[in-house]
Amino acid sequence: LNDLADGHRTRERLIAASIELFDRDGFTRTSLDAVCRRVRVTKGALYRHFPSKLALGAAVVEEHFRMSHDVRAAVEAVSPSPLQALIDMTYLMCRLACTDRTVRVSVRLLFTSELFDLLAGTYCVSVATMIRDLLRDAVEVGQVRPDVDVREEAEGLMMMIIGGQLRTVVSAGKSDVDGQLTMLWQRQVDRLVPAEQRDRLRTRPPPFDRVVD
Amino acid sequence: LNDLADGHRTRERLIAASIELFDRDGFTRTSLDAVCRRVRVTKGALYRHFPSKLALGAAVVEEHFRMSHDVRAAVEAVSPSPLQALIDMTYLMCRLACTDRTVRVSVRLLFTSELFDLLAGTYCVSVATMIRDLLRDAVEVGQVRPDVDVREEAEGLMMMIIGGQLRTVVSAGKSDVDGQLTMLWQRQVDRLVPAEQRDRLRTRPPPFDRVVD
Amino acid sequence: LNDLADGHRTRERLIAASIELFDRDGFTRTSLDAVCRRVRVTKGALYRHFPSKLALGAAVVEEHFRMSHDVRAAVEAVSPSPLQALIDMTYLMCRLACTDRTVRVSVRLLFTSELFDLLAGTYCVSVATMIRDLLRDAVEVGQVRPDVDVREEAEGLMMMIIGGQLRTVVSAGKSDVDGQLTMLWQRQVDRLVPAEQRDRLRTRPPPFDRVVD
Amino acid sequence: LNDLADGHRTRERLIAASIELFDRDGFTRTSLDAVCRRVRVTKGALYRHFPSKLALGAAVVEEHFRMSHDVRAAVEAVSPSPLQALIDMTYLMCRLACTDRTVRVSVRLLFTSELFDLLAGTYCVSVATMIRDLLRDAVEVGQVRPDVDVREEAEGLMMMIIGGQLRTVVSAGKSDVDGQLTMLWQRQVDRLVPAEQRDRLRTRPPPFDRVVD
DNA sequence: ACGGACGGGACCTCCCGTTGCT
DNA sequence: AGCAACGGGAGGTCCCGTCCGT
């Protein structure tokens, strides 16, 4: 009983330590021994929880995925409309790639390690799917024109978001990705949204004070 | 003289072998011994030319950079206008990420290895600069409206292109990046180009039969 | 338990293989890869047990030291007196430098490699100490005159023994070191041993049929 | 003409630099590049003069051999008799192994490097021969008993001297090799020299104030 | 669940000796 | 005679994943 809880704790602490070290030294240059040392545990323990170094990295990415879902739920909860939720999500995703350590590390992992081959595809699909869902909702409530090719648009937005996240990571947040997104949405809104719906939308970055912990 | 040539030859052959093996097995899973074996040379020779495995990867990327410049020159030579050259370049860059081994490997290297930390920034800047230059030329010849913020536009396009290249690599070419670019340019042309200039532009993919060797 | 035993086994086998190869090719011309190949193990395993090539050589010498102690114990066990034990030891030590592979290699290592700097001093002291102990015992039982300077004599004998071992190694056993020792002991006995004790001593080489395994 | 002289100079300087570095760092840990750097010359030059690293070491030893002959000549010139010359030579050879850098390095080279296999035998023979010659001379002038086995005695003395040189090098001169030699000669003189000749001999160390430069 | 020794294999460094040129 | 680049090859380090025992 207690053992199980302890085991779970160890797993969590290993992930937390990995995030710190991957952030500081990068995936390749972080040794599992270093991770274990920080948790005061040996490799035997680590390999109880993760079958390989890659799996440990994948667990970090999974953490990020889980967070993304939480963020989405939170944004949808507070948003007046699906499209607004989508717009805010794009800002948030790029912003988090800079501010939140887990997200930053996960994106770096996805695009600078062997995890690319394993998970980058999944990530792209998952982002595209999320966008498509929100777009579809927006079509249903009449906020987006019914003749829009949701699939195509979602794919394009996904590329833009991932490009933005990457840009953020590359330039360590010194690039004005927010500005880019504003430009993007101003154009997209003209194309996608019926004129009478436009004034209810905010295309500028949301004032996100901790939408998620 | 002969020695010098031989040394240079060895260097070239090492790069060529690296490209092949990085393409087949990925950066991390390719061992330097394997590269050397293929060139029938020992690690002593390799380390005469490259101070580290990363440096070998960087040399591959450099090859790609050099090719990019050649492609740009070739495209500019055959294009009727700067903007058309830019449009064609974007198609080419995404296309090459799929068809040309050197480019494909380089992009994978840039975004899936520790080279990211070293070179991704440089790559982004270099792509953005190239776009900006062509846009500026286009402004000068009146092909693009003078009030366009060249810098901002270039940054956005860069993100799109890199997203596209990445998408190509992720999906191993199975994604319709061409279609995305066509959509993109159709919108951009409306925004950037004075009406009377539009009919001279082709926004669809160019018929590139070997613009470069 | 099994692992530990295996680890120990690996260590032993590495030493055994080293002895063979050092004997055949010499220290410098023996590569660690060759040693590992013979044990069907990689350098990773070797460096788990020995921090350097020198340390591997030192382990061989240590083997020799251990053997020397065993030989001494065995000789003392069968000898009728301390001085006879000493005489027999000197013959044995020079003889073993020729016949026993471990001793031969160790002596070559001690005097033909960088191990000299590390261990030759220790070796000299250890030999001199052993001689001194036996001489002291001999004095106590009245086999050696009480006015003999045990320290000085031990030092001289040590130089002679080491010179003899060296001579043996240099000439690959073709030199008559036995004869030299016989000459030496005949003189020494006259000086060191009271007349009434002399007839019980044999100064000629002992018939050593395997005093040690 | 000048070139030849310069070439010779370079050779000398290479040997001198080698002696310094071999003395400081040992043979193995001294790189030829380091030697060349000190002489402000490149390896191409070195390999004009010496076909291998071993050959360079051998040249140092040869220097030592040459010095030995000079010392012998000098000692013979000032000595009243062959046996006295021999006695003084033994002191000198052990003493020089401590005080003279060339001799010290040569002895270390002979007994701590691959040069052992090449030259140690030669050295032993050469020392034994020198002793034998002097002993023979001593026999001829009636200073040593005619029934002495010159060959055997020479061999024994050689082992003692080389043991002494080694001891000197091992203990960096902190050992009382002089005392050992005095003891040795006191005994030998009793055995080898007719009684009426003994009072003309000095068995204690000679007051060598620079017998050689 | 965890500890810790073990072995495999990759990366990298250093240095010897060669070669063509000056 | 001397230079400088070159390549071969060995030594050494690091780290992943496994195995056995507790």
Per-residue DSSP letters for A121-185? HHHHHHHHHHHHHHHHHHHHTTSS-TTS-HHHHHHHHHHHHHHHHHHHHHTTT-S-HHHHHHHHH
Angle (CA) B69-B177-A188 rounded to 5° is 105
Given a cut of 70, whether residue C208 has pLDDT beyond it is no
Residue B3 or residue A160, greater confidence: A160
Q: CA torsion sign, A73 to A75 to A80 to A83?
A: negative
A73: nearest Cα among A130, A22, A129: A130
Whole-number percent of chain B with pLDDT over 90: 67
Backbone phi, then psi, for D92, in 5-degree steps? Answer: -60, -45
E6 C1' – C210 CA distance, angstroms?
Answer: 37
Report residue B23 as tokens.
């393409």
Closest Cα of chain A to B6: distance in Å?
34
Q: What is the pLDDT of residue B189?
A: 92
Instruction: Verify if strand E has an atom below 7 Å from the CB of B118.
Output: no
F2 C1' – C132 CA distance, angstroms?
Answer: 58
- How far apart are the C-alpha atoms of A24 and A20, rounded to whole Å? 6
Q: Say what the alpha-carbon torsion angle A125, A131, A132, A134 is, to the nearest 10 degrees.
A: 150
- How far apart are the C-alpha atoms of A63 and A47, rounded to whole Å? 19
Q: What is the pLDDT of residue C173?
A: 67
Q: What is the pLDDT of residue A1?
A: 45
| Three-state secondary-structure class, residue C42 | coil
- How confident is the model over C115-143, as pLDDT tens digits? 998 899 999 999 999 999 999 999 999 99
Look at D187 and C187 and tell me if their CB atoms are within 8 Å. Answer: yes
Can you give the C-alpha Rg of chain C in angstroms? 19
Sequence-distant (6+) residues with CB within 8 A of C99 are: none
What is the pTM assigned to this prediction?
0.88
**Chain C residues closer than 8 Å to D168 by CB:** none
Neighbours of D134 (CB within 10 A): 26
Closest Cα of chain A to B165: distance in Å?
10
Q: How far is CA D189 from CA B79, D76, D148, D156, in A?
A: 107, 19, 12, 14
Given a cut of 50, whether residue A77 has pLDDT beyond it is yes
Q: Say what the alpha-carbon torsion angle A46, A49, A51, A57 is, to the nearest 10 degrees.
A: -80
Given a cut of 70, whether residue B2 has pLDDT beyond it is no
Which own/partner pairs from C179-182 qualify as long-range (CB within 8 Å, at least 24 positions apart)? C179/D152, C180/D152, C180/D155, C180/D156, C180/D159, C181/C90, C181/C91, C181/C94, C181/C205
C119 touches chain D (CB under 8 A): no
Per-residue pLDDT of chain D (213 residues; tens, 9 = 90+): 455 567 789 999 999 999 999 999 999 999 999 999 999 999 999 999 999 999 999 999 999 999 999 999 999 999 999 999 999 999 999 889 888 999 999 999 998 888 998 899 999 999 999 999 999 999 999 999 999 999 999 998 998 888 888 888 888 777 788 888 999 999 889 889 999 989 889 999 998 655 555
Task: Give the type of residue at D81.
Answer: S
DSSP letters spanning C54-87: HHHHHHHHHHHHHHHHHHHHHHHHH-SSHHHHHH
Sequence-distant (6+) residues with CB within 8 A of C208 are: C88, C91, C92, C95
CB D57, CB D109: distance < 8 Å? yes
Look up residue A30 and give its DSSP letter: -
**Chain B residues closer than 8 Å to A109 by CB:** none
CB D22, CB D105: distance < 8 Å? yes
B75: nearest Cα among B63, B62, B87, B61: B87
A41 touches chain B (CB under 8 A): no
A108: nearest Cα among A182, A50, A173: A173
Q: Look up tokens 């937390």; give the residue.
A: A16
Interface test with chain D among C167, C171, C191, by most D beta carbons within 10 Å: C167
CB A43, CB A33: distance < 8 Å? yes
Look up residue D148 and give its DSSP letter: S
CB B14, CB B56: distance < 8 Å? yes
Most confident of A181-190, B35-44, B177-186, C147-156: B35-44
Burial D12-37, CB ≥16 within 10 A → b, else e: eebbbbbbebbbeebbbebebeebbe
A residues 88-107 lying closer than 8 A (beta carbon) to B: none
Sequence-distant (6+) residues with CB within 8 A of B80 are: B200
Q: Look up tokens 């060529």; give the residue.
A: B16
| Three-state secondary-structure class, residue C30 | coil
Look at A111 and B113 and tell me if their CB atoms are within 8 Å. Answer: no
Instruction: Verify if strand E has an atom below 7 Å from the CB of B2.
Output: yes
Q: How many Cα atoms sit within 13 Å of B32 on the Cβ side?
A: 15
Report residue C198 as tokens.
């002399």
Instruction: Verify if strand E has an atom below 7 Å from the CB of C32.
Output: no
H-assigned helices in chain B: 2-25, 32-39, 43-49, 53-78, 82-99, 101-112, 115, 121-140, 150-170, 177-192
C181: nearest Cα among C152, C206, C198: C206
Closest residue in C to D155 (Cα) is C180
Q: CA torsion sign, D68 to D71 to D76 to D77?
A: positive
Interface test with chain A among B109, B131, B158, B167, by most A beta carbons within 10 Å: B167
Task: Give the type of residue at B194.
Answer: P
Per-residue pLDDT band for A4 (boundaries 50, 70, 90) equals low
Q: What is the pLDDT of residue C3?
A: 53
Q: What is the pLDDT of residue B1?
A: 44
Look up residue C156 and give its DSSP letter: H
D126 touches chain C (CB under 8 A): no
End-to-end CA gap in chain A:
29
CB B111, CB B166: distance < 8 Å? yes
Burial D142-180, CB ≥16 within 10 A → b, else e: ebbeeeeebeebbbbbbbbbbbbbbbbbbbebebebeeb
CB B63, CB B15: distance < 8 Å? yes
Sequence-distant (6+) residues with CB within 8 A of C193 are: C83, C143, C144, C145, C201
Closest residue in B to A187 (Cα) is B187
Task: Give the type of residue at A51.
Answer: P
B residues 11-30 lying closer than 8 A (beta carbon) to A: 26, 28-29
Chains A and C share 3 or more Cβ pairs within 8 Å = no
Chains B and A share 3 or more Cβ pairs within 8 Å = yes
Q: Which of D28, D29, D167 sits opposite C159 (nearest CB)?
A: D167
Q: Which residue is nearest to nucleotide E10 (CA to C1')?
A: B31
Burial D57-85, CB ≥16 within 10 A → b, else e: bbbbbebbbebbeebbebbbeebebbbbb
Q: What is the pLDDT of residue D1?
A: 45
Size of interface A-B (CB pairs under 8 A): 92
Task: Give the type of residue at D126.
Answer: S
Q: What is the pLDDT of residue B213?
A: 52
- How far apart are the C-alpha atoms of A31 and A22, rounded to whole Å? 9
Q: What is the pLDDT of residue B161?
A: 87
Report residue C190 as tokens.
């006259």
